[in-house]
Every structure is written in structure tokens, then in C-alpha cells.
Amino acid sequence: MRLLILGPQGSGKGTQAERISQLYGIPAISTGQLIRNQIAKKTPLGKQIEGIITKGDLIDDALAFQLVLNRIAEPDCTKGFILDGFPRNVEQAKLLAARVKLNVVMYLHVPDSLVVERISNRLTCMKCGRIYNTTSLNPKKSGICDACGGKLEKRADDNEEAIRHRLEQFHEKTTPLIKYYGTQVKRFDGSKSIEHVANEVISFLETLPQ
């Protein structure tokens, strides 16, 4: 299964990707995590990327594509993978299509106002990148990641100005992907609870040929 999950930041893509990964035994590949790994290693590329995303901008197509291509070439992706955060626009989708055929494209729709609210309350693990929310998904121990024990912090770019800037870019560049993928897209209401969306997603995936 080669799956793509589309939706704005704060739509729950990462959470749903993690659940699908655990259920089907295929890796969830987040461009955000690939980028954070570069930043954490303090590579020249990581420093360049950090400056870009702190302003709320997106990294360029070629760079994002290379990060993803390197990841899906690894052995654990042989049986499939879940893409979260790539492609972000039609140009990236065409680059991907030339190398990889996707089986499923899912779109989690969430109103802008709810995206701003969710991200404003978001905490990110500085070690593994796992996302929490102070209103809907708290860790078991305050300030500590359940998965790896890393420290949870509010990201510098999770302020309202940067969030709204990212939403503008999403609507301008990413929304046309819905048209590009056409009937291949399955829509879900991402404003519902995590459990509600997860149940709908799994029910849909179970109808597909394995």
C-alpha cells in the first residue's frame, strides 16, 4: 500500500498516519520529521531549512523530493509507505508520479479557524517529532513525550502569523492537488475527533485490495 495523506497542518495527518502505520506495518514518512532530523543534526542543509520554515515558508520542490526519494528507497518501504507532507503541490506530485505510483490519496478537510486553534495549542517533541495538543491530546506526563521521553515544546513557527501564512500557501499550492488526483481522492472530515476520523479511515482502507 502506497498511501498519501493530504490536509493542512493541524488536520491530524501525522496522527492518522501513525495509526495506519501500526495497523498495516508500513512506515509513515513525514517530510516534517525528515526536515527535523536535518535540523537536529545541525547540517548545513538543516540550518538552511530552519531559516526557511521559521519564516513560515516551504522548502523548494527539488529538495523536498530528494529527501522523500532517499527515504522510500530504504528496505522498510518495500511493502508500502504512508506519505505525510509530500507532495505539497502539483509540481511535486508530477516529480513523484514519474518514480512512484500511489494506490490511495486521502484528504483531511479542516476549516482554517480550527487549524489556527489546534496549532496554537500544539506541543512538539523535540526528539522524535511526535505532536500533542493541550486541549485534545495531552501526554501522560506533562511536558514529556509518551513515545520517547523527549521534551515537549511549542515550536517557534507555531504562532498565529506564521500559521495563517502557511494556510495561505496551502490553499494556493496544495489545494490544486485535489483536482490533480481527481477521483483517486477519498475525503474525510478532519474536524471530527481523532477516534472518529481513525474509525472512518480504517473502515475505508479495509475495503481496498491488499
Residue for cell digits 513525550? Answer: 145
Instruction: Identify whether 71 is part of a domain.
Output: yes
Count CB-CB contacts under 10 A for residue 179.
9
Q: Is 127 a catalytic residue?
A: no
Does a structural domain hold residue 78? Answer: yes
Q: How many domains does the chain have?
A: 1
What's the pTM value of the predicted model, to 2 decimals?
A: 0.79
Q: Residue 26 maps to which CATH number?
A: 3.40.50.300
Position 171 in a domain = yes
Q: Tell me which of 13, 19, 36, 71 is the catalytic residue.
A: 13
Among 36, 71, 88, 118, the one annotated catalytic: 88
Distance CA 58, CA 124 (A): 19
Identify whether 84 is part of a domain. yes
- CA–CA separation, 11 and 88 (whole Å): 14
- Spatial separation of the C-alpha atoms in residues 89 and 72, rounded to whole Å: 19
User: Does residue 71 carry a catalytic annotation?
Assistant: no
Residue 64: domain span: 2-110+166-205
Is 154 a known active-site residue?
no
In a domain, 156, yes or no: no
Terminal Cα distance for the chain, rounded: 7
Q: Is the Cβ–Cβ distance between 100 and 182 less than 8 Å?
A: no
Residue-by-residue pLDDT tens, the chain, 210 positions = 999 999 998 899 989 999 999 999 999 998 878 888 888 888 887 888 888 888 877 788 888 888 899 899 999 999 999 999 899 889 999 999 999 999 999 999 999 999 998 988 889 998 888 889 888 788 999 999 999 999 999 888 888 888 899 899 888 888 899 999 999 999 999 999 999 999 999 999 999 876
- Confirm whether 153 is domain-assigned: no
Cα separation, 45 vs 193, whole angstroms: 37
- 122 within a domain of the structure (yes/no): no
The one catalytic residue among 127, 155, 173, 186? 155
Asked if residue 126 is part of any domain, the answer here is no
Of these residues, 2, 36, 118, 166, which one is catalytic? Answer: 166
Please identify which of the residues 19, 36, 122, 130 carries the catalytic annotation: 122
